[in-house]
């Protein structure tokens, strides 16, 4: 049987986590600025709906990776306050995940926008 009270409470906790991440993570704010820019450029260039969907999923992957990175950093800080090589590795790998995801998003964005930008200069 589904416990609806607990089910809806889980949404409350999720929104609290999202709020905390956006309020306290400057890199997440930067990713949001880029997402806003990509959305506006997509509208201006009249990007096809399926391409906009790809861009949207890509932006969400970057934001999700940044939130996972933040969660890992906080968890590592909770586990140890001392400078340990394992803690550094965990944080570095998590940061690397964000970088790889952001680079993939930049490549995908470039591949989608390139033909539209070329059209601007050929007309």
Catalytic residue among 16, 66, 82, 86: 66
How far, in Å, CA of 78 to CA of 44, rounded? 45
Q: Left, alpha or beta for 25 (phi > 0: left; psi -120 to 50: alpha)?
A: beta
Give Dmax over CA atoms of the chain in angstroms.
Answer: 62
Contacts of 52 (CB under 8 A, 6+ apart): 42
Q: Is 73 a catalytic residue?
A: no
Strands (E) in the chain, as ranges, are none
What number of CA atoms fall less than 13 Å from residue 39's CA on the CB side?
10
Q: Which residue has the tokens 């934001």?
A: 63
Active site residues per annotation = 66
């Amino acid at each position: 049987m589904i416990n609806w009270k607990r089910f809806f409470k889980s949404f409350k906790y999720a929104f609290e986590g999202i709020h905390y991440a956006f309020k306290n993570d400057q890199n997440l704010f930067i990713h949001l600025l880029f997402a806003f820019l990509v959305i506006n450029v997509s509208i201006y260039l009249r990007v096809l709906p399926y391409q906009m969907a790809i861009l949207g999923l890509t932006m969400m992957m970057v934001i999700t990776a940044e939130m996972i990175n933040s969660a890992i950093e906080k968890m590592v800080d909770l586990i140890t306050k001392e400078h340990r090589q394992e803690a550094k590795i965990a944080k570095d790998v998590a940061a690397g995940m964000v970088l790889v995801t952001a680079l993939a998003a930049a490549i995908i964005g470039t591949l989608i926008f390139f033909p539209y930008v070329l059209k601007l200069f050929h007309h």
